[in-house]
Chains A and B, each alone.
Chain A
């Protein structure tokens, strides 16, 4: 790695390999850039915008912008975290996120990131959209009330499982949604398996293994032990 392959992240020197994105380089250096739709196993999607940073004074998605020598990247500034908090509030009111009775609570990247950004209220009026629950599969339940359209399930099913169980379809704020690749539109009529990579990729509480909800007690869930910034930086 050349000495020139260094950029500044919140004033700290970060080394990168040619072709790495800012997010990938930060992850390699155990630095946390907030994100929801990015996952190291899959190509960046750039849709949630939580990973937006300022690169030499201009906004950019750190998951899609390649690292370059000499970049001055601002990440955890009050300005950016304020914008992230607003994005999170928009996501919370767009779906039906009832953390108190959600089995993903404590293991949910959306919830943990909201805590990290100091989100205390949803701020905006709730949409309360009418979204379905698909419990037709014997081992996995889908609760689309919590979907943030990160598309990780689409990628995992297509690229890792080679099944294309999930497809992003529809248009517009209320029309855009995940569609199941079966004639009935039900998960139970696809070849989805609880052992698929897509079964464990969901950052929120949409794709859930059945009959194991709440088996992990308070204090032992992922984000009970450490905030998301520490959990992600430790990876």
Chain B
């Protein structure tokens, strides 16, 4: 799979357009486009410009500190890092979790999936979907959604709130708790906490079903455009349970080629490096992972996340979500399941699955148990893999005999999706920007494609950034020919040409 728009043959003769930073995503990144005099696109790149530091500065820290420390690289889905690190440290202490510990962690994780998916769909993406990708930027935001569709906005806020309550009760805090520790958890649910969550869970399941219907309806209304938008073929990778079911907390790795054939299945992630390698490119701080079997990152890149998980699992082990999965796969002859915008639909199916899984766990007495910790034979190496809201998340540590971390490698969901996001924006650039005059609405199409993946650029590079947008057209001689700025409040302005 060559990247025809990754590197232009003669960049010196082209003008450069930069979308910097990309907005309504977590973290800080930019997109650059190289155009010729006829506005034909010759090069498109998503650059991640944040600095990646966590892997280095946790060296020397005690292993039990890691699950608490590494989650600080993100405020949106810290639970994912908290749990992936904990799973790695479970291996370090040689523990097999007690039923209570595993179920509390799962509850925490499903709360995380629920709140993160709700945040992304309602707060970040629904303005594009409800108002149109090129609609008035003044209202294309969550405040506009509140004004135009207050019931939808309210559901988004309350779904997220519920997920955060689940996290608070299992980890101690809504953001950056300490509940999961090497070998188990430090608390289970109290009876009153369980009752409080049980009280609202049926409403949460109902609202999650409504959200699936909402994105389904949007697809039906805009079928041709949604199916075609940023569409590309990709290999896929996700965790699946031993019986092939979707399992967001634990499983073996499944990888399928873009033609649907299996590359590996139920692969033990303890040796993930036997199937995945990280490539680097000079123009991005984010690495480019690829399947070893495909030889290089040009051919072996792949996609992770909700669209992959929903389409590649054999079934979803909760009934309502599985019914929606079947409908999604069959919709329009299967076209929606291959569409980049299908990420949103798959994300809402997963949110429904998370709500159903929370409901089931809340009726399991183990979540109030007192057997919280386990231990076994100490190991030097630990690998923890989890399906985070944005996709497969790998944490890998080596710990010395003094209990200090001596090596760490994190491959986060957004890193797996690096090439896929680049491919999506190249397709969109060809579809919508080729030969067109630059407008904010057209540039937003690029960002809409990026948002499908719900990227967390902070996680991928382990820092946080601001969200304004600046676009420049630079002439062949380096002169800035045109410039547009979008402020943090979403307003666009075209300053005087420099």
A-side residues, CB < 8 A to B, are 100-101, 103, 133, 135-136, 141, 208, 210-219
Decide if the interface of chain A is mainly helix, strand, loop or mixed: loop
B178 engages A217 (CB within 8 Å): yes
- Indicate if the CB atoms of A214 and B404 lie closer than 8 Å: no
Q: Which of B281-316 contact A (CB under 8 A)?
A: none
Q: Within 8 Å CB of A210, what residues of B?
A: 62, 403
B172 touching A218, Cβ below 8 Å:
yes
- Contact partner of B62 (CB less than 8 A), chosen from A100, A135, A216, A218, is A135
CA distance in complex: A233, B454 (Å) = 51
A55 to chain B, nearest CB (A): 42
Which chain B residue has the least Cβ–Cβ distance from A103?
B65
Are B64's CB and A103's CB within 8 A?
yes
Contacts of B177 in A (CB 8 A): 218
Closest residue on chain B to residue A98 by CB atoms: B69
Contacts of B172 in A (CB 8 A): 217-219
If over half of B's interface residues share one DSSP class (helix, strand or loop), that class is named, otherwise mixed; here it is loop
Given contacts A215-B186, A217-B187, A218-B178, contact A133 B68 (CB under 8 A): no
- Contact in complex: A214, B402 (CB < 8 Å): no
Chain A residues within 8 Å of B404, by CB = 133, 135
Q: Are B402 and A213 in contact (CB under 8 A)?
A: no
Using CB atoms, name the residue of chain A closest to B70.
A101
A217 to B62, Cβ gap below 8 A? Answer: no
**Residue B353 interfacial (CB < 8 Å):** no
Residues B186 and A211 in contact, CB atoms below 8 Å apart = no
B56 at interface (Cβ–Cβ under 8 A)? Answer: no
* One of B69, B171, B402 near A135 (C-beta < 8 A): B402
Q: When the two chains form their complex, are residues A133 and B60 in contact, meaning their CB atoms are under 8 A apart? A: yes
Q: How far is B186's CA from A215's CA once the two chains are assembled, in angstroms?
A: 5
A29 shortest CB reach to chain B, Å: 35
Complex Cα spacing A103 to B63, Å: 12
Contacts of B373 in A (CB 8 A): 215
Residues of B near A136 (CB, < 8 A) are 402
Within 8 A of A (CB), among B366-418: 373, 402-404
A/B interface sample: 17 pairs, CB < 8 A: A100-B72, A100-B176, A101-B68, A101-B72, A135-B62, A135-B402, A141-B62, A211-B64, A213-B65, A213-B181, A214-B64, A214-B68, A214-B181, A214-B186, A215-B373, A217-B178, A217-B179
Q: Report chain B residues within 8 Å CB of A211.
A: 64, 93, 182, 403
Residue of B nearest to A106 (CB): B178
A154 vs B93: C-alpha distance when bound (angstroms): 33
Residue of A100, A133, A217 contacting most chain B CB atoms (<10 Å): A217
Please name 8 further chain A to chain B contacts, defined as beta carbons within 8 Å, in addition to the given A101-B72, A136-B402, sorted by A numbering: A100-B176, A103-B68, A133-B61, A210-B403, A211-B93, A211-B182, A214-B64, A217-B186
* Cβ contact within 8 Å between A214 and B176: no
Q: Which residue of A lies closest to B378 (CB)?
A: A211
Q: Determine if A215 and B68 form an interchain contact, defined as CB atoms under 8 angstroms apart.
A: no
For the complex, what is the distance from the CA of A141 to the CA of B403, rounded to whole Å? 9
Chain A residue nearest in CB terms to B72: A100
Q: How far is the CB of A185 from chain B (nearest CB, A)?
A: 15
Chain A residue contacts of B182, Cβ below 8 A: 211
A205 CB, min distance to chain B CBs, angstroms = 10
B491 at the binding interface (Cβ < 8 Å): no
Report how far A159 CA is from B65 CA in the complex, Å: 32
Q: How far is the CA of A217 from the CA of B185 in the complex (A)?
A: 9
Give every chain B residue within 8 A of A217 (Cβ-Cβ): 172, 178-179, 186-187
- For residue B363, CB closer than 8 A to chain A, the reply is no
- A216–B172 Cα distance when bound, in Å, is 10
Q: Which B residues from 47 to 94 make CB contacts under 8 A with A?
A: 60-62, 64-65, 67-69, 72, 93
Contacts of A208 in B (CB 8 A): 62
Which residues of B sit under 8 angstroms from A216, Cβ to Cβ? 186
Q: Does B173 contact A (CB under 8 A)?
A: yes
B464 shortest CB reach to chain A, Å: 14
A-side contacts of B64, CB under 8 Å: 103, 211-214
Residues of A within 8 A of B67 (CB): 214
Instruction: Report the nearest A residue to B66, measured CB to CB.
Output: A101
Complex-state Cα separation, A208 to B67, whole angstroms: 17
* Chain A residues positioned under 8 Å from B173 (CB to CB): 218
Q: In the A-B complex, list the 10 residue pairs whose CB atoms are closest, starting with the nearest.
A: A218-B172, A101-B69, A135-B402, A217-B187, A213-B64, A217-B186, A214-B178, A135-B404, A214-B181, A101-B68
Q: In the assembly, what is the distance between CA of A218 and CA of B171, in Å?
A: 8
- Residues in B with CB closer than 8 Å to A215 are 181, 186, 373
Q: How far is the CA of A176 from the CA of B171 in the complex (A)?
A: 39
Which residue of A208, A211, A212 has the most chain B CB atoms within 10 A of its CB atom? A211
Minimum CB distance partner of B184 in chain A: A215
B82 CB → nearest A CB, Å: 11
